[in-house]
Amino acid sequence: MAGVITTGNNPKLLWPGLAGLFGTTYNDVKMASDTIFDQRTSTKLYEEIQELAGFGLASVKTEAGGVTYTSSTQGPTTRATNVVYGLGFIETQESVDDNQYEEKATDKTIALARSMKHTRETVLMNVLNRAFSDSYLGGDGIRLVKSSHTTVNGTQSNTLTADADLSEASIEDMLINIMNATDSTGLHIGLMAKRLIIAPNEAFNAQRILKSTGQNDTANNAINAVKSMGLLQGDPIVSPFLTDADAWFIQTDAMKGLTVFNRRAAKLEKDGDFDTGNYKHKATERYVPTWGDWRNIFGSAGA
């Protein structure tokens, strides 16, 4: 049977004399998705997020003339179908019976739970890893970060005119885009930046940019405008699950943005096989990450 843990997998555990064991558990990294994804409960095979466009600008009403009437328009529909993720292990009865360090050894179920946790974080953060790929599209048929999102009032952008590495200037340009954001009909919205999301490679650079009192990396006697205006609150979200070292994102307060629908929480199950005596353990979880309003994320792939 493939993947069965036998006495031959860990022969050192069958003899006394080991001073210690390590390798299956460590202090875990903070899971960024807990902060940046809206957690929603799902009760169906799939969930949908629907955009409804508002009304545009009013027109002049002449004396004795009639008011111009408009209608509501339905925008793109985002459908997210729940997916089951699972992992398990099988160990022979002999490998359990003959283990001399069972009371000291790390419980394999802890390692299984850790694998499920890291799987979830990888799946969720892949939404950002794939934000610049045309192979992964949203409800509007456009990737998450692009300069040409289709709306009722033409195309809109949630990126820079030209991709740029993280810097004080590029952050300011992105914040200007956020402040100029409009809804689908072209009306300005009070979109607010919430947090910077980066890979570990940019952690120190981001700290210098955001925490410096003066303008970063210059002798100019100028204030750090981003800091003094309070446009990005708190520390950046640093995630090793971001695979592009120089890609960076600013999350806004736009509603129905990054969302994960949780259909079934992680569940550990175990059973025994009558014929072989093997012990079987498995963990499964069902969920799906997605996004509705792309205005929740502004980003750059880096230069």
> For residue 269, is it within any domain?
yes
pTM of the model: 0.85
Q: Is the pLDDT of residue 248 over 70?
A: yes
3-state SS, one letter per residue, for 92-117: CHHHHHCCCCCCCCCCHHHHHHHHHH
**3-state SS class at 36:** helix
pLDDT score recorded for residue 21: 46
Question: How many Cβ atoms from other residues are within 10 Å of residue 64's Cβ?
Answer: 5
- Say if residues 116 and 270 touch (Cβ distance below 8 Å): no
Number of domains, the chain: 1
> For residue 62, is it within any domain?
no
71 vs 6, residue with greater confidence: 71
Grade residue 20 by pLDDT with cuts at 50, 70 and 90.
Answer: very low
Least-confidence region, from 89-103, 151-165, 207-221, 279-293 = 89-103
Query: Which tens digits make up the pLDDT trace of 155-202?
Result: 999 999 999 999 999 999 999 999 999 999 999 999 999 999 999 999
> For residue 178, is it within any domain?
yes
Query: Which DSSP state fits 24?
Result: S
CA contacts within 13 A on the Cβ side of 57: 7
pLDDT score recorded for residue 17: 45
Closest CA to 120 of 297, 290, 289: 289
> For residue 258, is it within any domain?
yes
**3-state SS class at 80:** strand
> For residue 210, is it within any domain?
yes
> For residue 154, is it within any domain?
yes
**d(C-alpha 71, C-alpha 56), whole Å:** 10
Q: Is the pLDDT of residue 81 over 80?
A: yes
Least-confidence region, from 7-11, 34-38, 70-74 = 7-11
Cα–Cα separations (whole angstroms), residue 156 to 90, 126, 186, 196, 225: 52, 23, 9, 21, 26
- Rg of the chain, C-alpha, whole Å: 26
Query: Which DSSP state fits 34?
Result: H
Please give the average per-residue pLDDT across 227-255, as a whole number: 93
Mean pLDDT of the chain: 87
Grade residue 72 by pLDDT with cuts at 50, 70 and 90.
Answer: confident
> For residue 234, is it within any domain?
yes
Give the H/E segment covering residue 123.
helix 108-129
Q: Exposed e or buried b for every residue in 145-175, given b needs 16+ CB within 10 A?
A: bbeebebeeeebbbbbeebbebebebbeebb
pLDDT score recorded for residue 104: 47
In terms of residue numbers, what domain contains 208?
83-300
What percent of the chain has pLDDT above 70? Answer: 86
> For residue 239, is it within any domain?
yes
